[in-house]
Structure 1
Amino acid sequence: MVEKAHTAASERVFYRDIKPYDAPTELAELHGPSAGRVVLPLNVYWGPAHNFDLDNESDVVEAYQATLREGRVEDQAMILNPDLLVSIWPELLLPVRVRMLWEDRFPALAAA
């Protein structure tokens, strides 16, 4: 009985394991602001406040995490700033597949 339960649990598929994630082909495609305020579109962030202050590190972390997890390449290009992304990369809490996708594609992030 215990063995069957273990087998069923190990075959379980989680949405996080199959959800498609997006990333540009080059960091140079990112041209988001490095300071000021940024408003995230609803498809990226559906929380109560969509307006983030890029001069506040906790706002940057929250906005960038949402953009990396939920944004399409078009969203990422207009929101993310490459220099800011590299500088806060170690602070971001991301799904393993998102981190692997971005670090495999952009060695500068893995080095950060």
Structure 2
Amino acid sequence: MRKPRDFDAELKALEDKARELKTRKVQQLGELVIATGADELSPGELAGALVAIAETTDTAKREAWAKRGVMFFESRSRRTAPASQRNVRGAQTQSGSPQSPAGGTGSQ
């Protein structure tokens, strides 16, 4: 005979996991704001910028922002990577398409 399932315990475990995931997401978003320097903006400025970005349907702008974000994270990982890994990553990015982090329409 099978042992009856404890639905209350399973539900509590799922709720705890959901709470943990939400907490981790909030923490990671906060870290992202700090890492990009956006923590120097007022809450109103930051919220306004995020609302404008979320409402943007221009695919070209969104792709430019995504590329700029990738470059941001790649440059951060190169700064924190050991020297042996830094050279490998630098060679990989140089062999791709040449793009300047400050260039393009990504800041709009």
TM-score, normalised via structure 2 length: 0.30
Say which structure, 1 or 2, has more relative contact order (CA 8 Å, 6+ apart).
1
Q: Give the number of the structure whose residues are more often helix, by fraction.
A: 2
